[in-house]
Amino acid sequence: MTEPTTARVRFPTALRGGTGTVSVLLVLIFVVIATQNPSFFEGPPLMAFAKKAAPLVVLAIGQYLVIVSGEFDLSVGSLVGAQVVIAARLIDGDEAMTYPVIGLMLLFGLLVGLVNGLVTTLLRVPSIITTLGTMLILFGAVRYWTGGAPTGALSEGFRVFGRHGPDGVPVLGQIPWALVIAALLTVGAILLMRSPYGRSLMATGDNDTAAAFSGVRVWRVRTLAFVGSSLMATVAAILIGGFAGVTAQVGEGLEFTAITAVVLGGVVLGGGRGTVVAAVLGALTVEALFTLFNQLYLPSTIQPTAQGLIIIAAVAYVSRRGDPRPPTRPRRRPDPPNERQLDSSRR
Amino acid sequence: MTGAPLLRMTGIGKSFLGVRVLHGVDLDLHAGELHALVGENGAGKSTLMKVLAGVHRADTGRIELDGAEVSFEHPVRAQRAGVSTVFQEFNLLPERTVAQNVFLGRETRTRGVVDDRAMEGATAELLADLGLAGIAPWSKVRHLSVAEQQVVEIVKALSHDARVISMDEPTAALADHEVEVLYRIIARLRERGVGILYVSHRLKEIFDLADTITVLKDGHLVDTMAAADTRPAELVRKMVGRPVSSVFPDPLEPHGERVGEVRLSVSGAGNTRLDGIDLEVRGGEIVGLAGLQGSGRTEIAHGLFGVDRFTRGEVHVDGRRIDPRSPRRAVRAGLALVTEDRKSQGLLLDQSVLANARLVLDAVPPFGSGRRVRRIPGILSSLELVARGGHGQEVRFLSGGNQQKVVLAKWLATDPGVMILDEPTRGIDVGAKQAVYSLMRELAAAGVAILLISSELPELIGMSDRLVVLDDGRVAGELPGGSSEETVMALATGASVHREEAAP
């Protein structure tokens, strides 16, 4: 029980819970980037980086909500892909359709989140399976619907969120809308985690039995986290669609990038620990690392390998630091306390 | 019993974290004898059994089997030596067959391949020996009843050629007709010369079965006596025999508005484990729920709190009928439950003191007003919570007593009308216990209705105004506060019934 205090001494309170470590890592990567490309911090390149990183930041926030409640969401990558394809097909270049379709996308995201959440909490399917299922369902459905090649086109009004922003700002040049949106969502998520809902979510991830005994509706709290994640994926889809356009590969593997980002931020898998800021910093770090790879002319195909190494190293680091959670502590499935306990079987 | 004992334990002592739980206990067990081990919860019975089973190692003393000293570093060593233990929780694999369980870890092999046939044959023989042909060796354990699973445990013990079998509360989970089967099995075992060490709270069984009775109290050996020469009342007195200490604060002058009003009333409540529960608690009153482990004390608390719902009966709080279907509803009705298992049911160990203390306010909307949240620091300091890191300190770094204060603060923040305290002083130090007692008195004086559950009889008797005694999921009777421990134990163990039966 003394181990964790050493980790605590190293960082001031504000940087607790892995935020400190990931900040140091981010600064290090930025320094290396700067040595390779001294002009990186001159406004426009930095804004370009922000624009590129924004979708991952948004996804990481969504993934954070689910992970902190003690679950996983593997469906976000497929959902991003599905949303972009839906948008292209329904808008089909028609400006007037932009906002109706965005509304429809949000509804679809809500629906996917509800399904993920309710199947996990009420049907008691482990979330890793539930969302793996949703991921495959969406992936297959989109392929089937488009016949393998997405059709249609996004409107200019749709693409503005991922591409443009107010121009002519001194020093920075253009502030991308993507950055504004990601920043607003970050602030929103920080506030959410301070609200009664956020506190109940954290409590659920820490000990769902104790939370239930205290009056938390565990199933509802977790379901809403999944809804949050799916809505974030929808926002990310709008940004990515605008930024990168429509291809059949949009969104592929993004769920793992998002989980890598969150884990790198020191948000502990299993729930109950970590902050929104840490997850956002994790996303920026992953994106910075990919930028560095580009500068070093490493092929982008190496990125999954890097992610795999990061995710293992990050979790090993947290564990080695002495995760003080007693190993015998029961990590139970979401368990509405109304169920009869099975331990003593008087019949 | 004459002749050399089969098993002799002498001067067994054991400490956990510096607390002595066994003080030089002696025990002899002869072949074919049933030796009952009795005492209150925490008397050291289980520890002694676990020392014998090789789960714990004794700090002092020696164990002799047939006159030769043995030392069991591991349960497997004890089993090989012929000492088997049937614990309350069975160590069976539900998806394996009876035979596979019996021979687990030492499967019969034919040419290197596990031979299920041979194991089933051997198991069938053992079962037939006990006169239990009804259990098929090839059925999965999952499909067996609790009683049958227990039989599998016993057969497993016999397959090790056990000469000593110890049983921990073997009837706790059995229905009446199943108990008869167990009696028959025990008779068979004794005919075969097996010595049985039998732990039970039920005096009727002890007098039905035992040759010898050993009473433990607070880790000390009180007496070993022949069952035939012992009367139930005498046994009960030996089990509890200590004066009620005067550590409990006196009731305070009541000043609350609701003192004397019926704040909680339960009538005819029941579910799978409870039946016909009638209960009334008035404001300003502390009502103790007495009973042995598994008698339904915690089940009542969970029923009231919507965890294990009542399926029949009515619950009224402050005169209004409530339907406690979930903890959330119970909280809204003004109930609070300090759970028995602090760590797994009460606390968010990785979160701060403050996050824990405001959890109910956050979780149940109408309570989330700033006013109540702002009162939390005051509540925490009035409980004299000691946390080096202040209210931001993570709860897992606190001592048991301080952790319990956090749980209490969490519930006090909701201004409960009815407070249910399930083992509120378990595992906390003396000072914190005093704080809990004083708090209970203060709450009562302020008009809160308190339902206290405790396995420590002196505490229950010392703090309660009235005692409701439970036995096997039913109310066995009600006693005034300050009743003697003997009376409570007699009601809780059904000893008074036994005496009536024995009288004519």
Q: Are B440 and B453 in contact (CB under 8 A)?
A: no
Extract the tokens encoding B399.
């001592």
* Percent of chain A clearing pLDDT 90 (strictly above): 52
Q: Are residues B411 and B422 in the same domain?
A: no
Q: Are residues B62 and B189 in the same domain?
A: yes
* Percent of chain B clearing pLDDT 90 (strictly above): 38
The SS3 of residue B259 is strand
Domain total of chain A: 1
Q: Is A2 on the interface with B (CB under 8 A)?
A: no
For the domain that residue A78 is a member of, what is the CATH number? 1.10.3470
Q: How far apart are CA B203 and CA B207, in angstroms?
A: 6
For the domain that residue B54 is a member of, what is the CATH number? 3.40.50.300
| For A195, nearest residue in chain B (alpha carbons) | B362
Q: Who among A196, A217, A338 is closest to B368 (CB)?
A: A196
Measured between CA atoms, how close is A342 to chain B, in angstroms? 11
For residue B49, give the nearest of B4, B80, B12, B90 by alpha carbon: B12
Q: Are residues B402 and B462 in the same domain?
A: no
Measured between CA atoms, how close is A215 to chain B, in angstroms? 4
Residue B99, in any domain of the structure: yes
Q: Are B254 and B281 in contact (CB under 8 A)?
A: no
Strand partners, B65: B7, B68
Residue A346, in any domain of the structure: no
* Phi, psi dihedral angles at A161 (to 5 degrees): -65, -35
Q: Are residues B40 and B168 in the same domain?
A: yes
Residues whose CB falls within 8 Å of the CB of residue A16, separated by 6 or more in sequence, listed in order: A8
Q: What is the pLDDT of residues B104-126, one digit of tens each?
A: 888 888 888 888 888 999 899 88
Residue B89, in any domain of the structure: yes
A chain contacts of residue B305, beta-carbon cutoff 8 Å:
213
For residue B296, give the nearest of B272, B316, B260, B314 by alpha carbon: B272
**What mean pLDDT is predicted for residues A298-323?**
80
* Domain end marker among B366, B399, B415: B415
Q: What is the pLDDT of residues B328-360, one digit of tens each?
A: 999 999 999 999 888 889 999 999 999 999 999
Residue B265, in any domain of the structure: yes
Domain total of chain B: 3
Q: Is A293 left (phi over 0), alpha (psi -120 to 50) or beta?
A: alpha
Amino acid at A98: T
Q: Are B454 and B423 in contact (CB under 8 A)?
A: yes
Residue B249, in any domain of the structure: no
Q: How far apart are CA A78 and CA A133, in angstroms?
A: 11
Residue A4, in any domain of the structure: no
Residue B501, in any domain of the structure: yes
Q: How far apart are CA A307 and CA A288, in angstroms?
A: 13
A chain contacts of residue B362, beta-carbon cutoff 8 Å:
196, 199-200, 203
Q: Who among A207, A338, A344 is closest to B348 (CB)?
A: A207
Q: How confident is the model at residue B404 (pLDDT cuts 50, 70, 90)?
A: very high
Instruction: Please indicate whether, in this complex, the C-beta atoms of B327 and A215 are within 8 angstroms of each other.
Output: yes
Residue A336, in any domain of the structure: no
Instruction: Please indicate whether, in this complex, the C-beta atoms of B326 and A273 are within 8 angstroms of each other.
Output: no
Residue A108, in any domain of the structure: yes
Flag the least confident range among A17-21, A219-223, B216-220, B468-472: A17-21
Report the 3 state secondary structure along B280-293: EEEECCEEEEECCC
Report the 3 state secondary structure along B466-490: EEEEEECCEEEEEEECCCCHHHHHH
Q: How confident is the model at residue B446 (pLDDT cuts 50, 70, 90)?
A: very high
Strands annotated E in chain A: none
Angle between helices A19-36 and A276-295 (to 10 degrees): 20
Q: Is the pLDDT of residue B202 over 90?
A: no
Measured between CA atoms, how close is B291 to chain A, in angstroms? 17
Q: Are residues B68 and B151 in the same domain?
A: yes
| For B146, nearest residue in chain A (alpha carbons) | A345
Q: What is the pLDDT of residue A321?
A: 58
Residues whose CB falls within 8 Å of the CB of residue B13, separated by 6 or more in sequence, listed in order: B20, B22, B23, B24, B25, B58, B59, B60, B61
Q: Are B290 and B296 in contact (CB under 8 A)?
A: no
Which residue range(s) make up the domain with B410? 344-415
A chain contacts of residue B173, beta-carbon cutoff 8 Å:
344-346
Q: Are residues B320 and B349 in the same domain?
A: no
Measured between CA atoms, how close is B264 to chain A, in angstroms? 20
Q: Are residues B408 and B451 in the same domain?
A: no
* Domain end marker among B415, B431, B449: B415
Most A CBs within 10 Å: which of B359, B399, B420, B474, as the mutation test of the A interface? B359
Residue B275, in any domain of the structure: yes
Helices (H) and strands (E) in chain B, counts: 18, 22
Q: Who among B328, B348, B364 is closest to A272 (CB)?
A: B348
* Beta strand B68-70 pairing with B83-86: unpaired
Q: Who among A214, A216, A273 is closest to B350 (CB)?
A: A273
Instruction: Please indicate whether, in this complex, the C-beta atoms of A215 and B146 are within 8 angstroms of each other.
Output: no
Q: Are A155 and A97 in contact (CB under 8 A)?
A: yes
Which residue range(s) make up the domain with A138? 16-320
Q: Are residues B269 and B391 in the same domain?
A: no
Q: How far apart are CA B84 and CA B269, in angstroms?
A: 41
Instruction: Please indicate whether, in this complex, the C-beta atoms of B347 and A214 are within 8 angstroms of each other.
Output: no
Instruction: Please indicate whether, in this complex, the C-beta atoms of A346 and B273 are within 8 angstroms of each other.
Output: yes
For residue A64, give the nearest of A258, A224, A199 by alpha carbon: A258
Q: Are residues B399 and B486 in the same domain?
A: no
Highest mean pLDDT among A67-76, A262-271, B8-17, B103-112: A67-76
Q: Are residues B400 and B421 in the same domain?
A: no
Instruction: Please indicate whether, in this complex, the C-beta atoms of A210 and B396 are within 8 angstroms of each other.
Output: no
Q: Is the pLDDT of residue B405 over 70?
A: yes
Q: Are residues B86 and B180 in the same domain?
A: yes
Q: How far apart are CA B201 and CA B36, in angstroms?
A: 10
Q: Is the pLDDT of residue A252 over 50?
A: yes
Q: Are B416 and B468 in contact (CB under 8 A)?
A: no
> To which residue do tokens 């005034």 refer?
B480
Angle between helices B370-382 and B400-412 (to 10 degrees): 150
Residue A343, in any domain of the structure: no
Q: Who among B294, B331, B359 is closest to A203 (CB)?
A: B359
Q: Is A270 on the interface with B (CB under 8 A)?
A: no
| For B408, nearest residue in chain A (alpha carbons) | A214
Q: Are residues B317 and B457 in the same domain?
A: yes
ipTM score of the complex? 0.80
Q: Is A69 on the interface with B (CB under 8 A)?
A: no
Q: Who among A217, A324, A345 is closest to B396 (CB)?
A: A324
| For B357, nearest residue in chain A (alpha carbons) | A214
In chain B, the largest separation of any two C-alpha atoms, in whole Å, equals 82
Alpha helices of B173-313 — where are they, by DSSP H?
A: 176-191, 203-209, 232-240, 297-304
Alpha helices of B265-326 — where are they, by DSSP H?
A: 297-304
Residue B498, in any domain of the structure: yes
- Per DSSP, the residues of B78-136 read HHHTTEEEE-SS----TTSBHHHHHTTTS--EETTEE-HHHHHHHHHHHHHHTT-TTS-
Most B CBs within 10 Å: which of A1, A13, A206, A214, as the mutation test of the B interface? A214
* Domain end marker among B398, B415, B432: B415
Residues whose CB falls within 8 Å of the CB of residue B85, separated by 6 or more in sequence, listed in order: B49, B50, B52, B53, B75, B78, B157, B165, B166, B167, B168
Interface of B with A (CB under 8 A): 145-146, 173, 175, 272-273, 294, 305-309, 325-328, 330-331, 337, 339, 343-351, 355, 358-365, 368, 392, 396-397, 410
Q: Residue A269's CB: how many other CB atoms inside 10 A?
A: 18
| For B305, nearest residue in chain A (alpha carbons) | A213
* Phi, psi dihedral angles at B83 (to 5 degrees): -115, 110
Instruction: Please indicate whether, in this complex, the C-beta atoms of A345 and B146 are within 8 angstroms of each other.
Output: yes
Measured between CA atoms, how close is B362 to chain A, in angstroms? 4
For residue B149, give the nearest of B138, B135, B163, B162 by alpha carbon: B135
Q: How far apart are CA B401 and CA B126, in angstroms?
A: 50
Q: Is the pLDDT of residue A330 over 80?
A: no
Residue A74's alpha-carbon distances to A109, A274, B196, in angstroms, are: 14, 19, 55
B chain contacts of residue A210, beta-carbon cutoff 8 Å:
344-348, 359
A chain contacts of residue B345, beta-carbon cutoff 8 Å:
209-210, 213
| For A213, nearest residue in chain B (alpha carbons) | B327
Q: Is A324 on the interface with B (CB under 8 A)?
A: yes
A chain contacts of residue B359, beta-carbon cutoff 8 Å:
199-200, 203, 210-211, 214, 216
Model pTM score: 0.75
Q: What is the pLDDT of residues A81-133, one digit of tens each?
A: 999 999 999 998 888 899 999 999 999 999 999 999 999 999 999 999 999 99
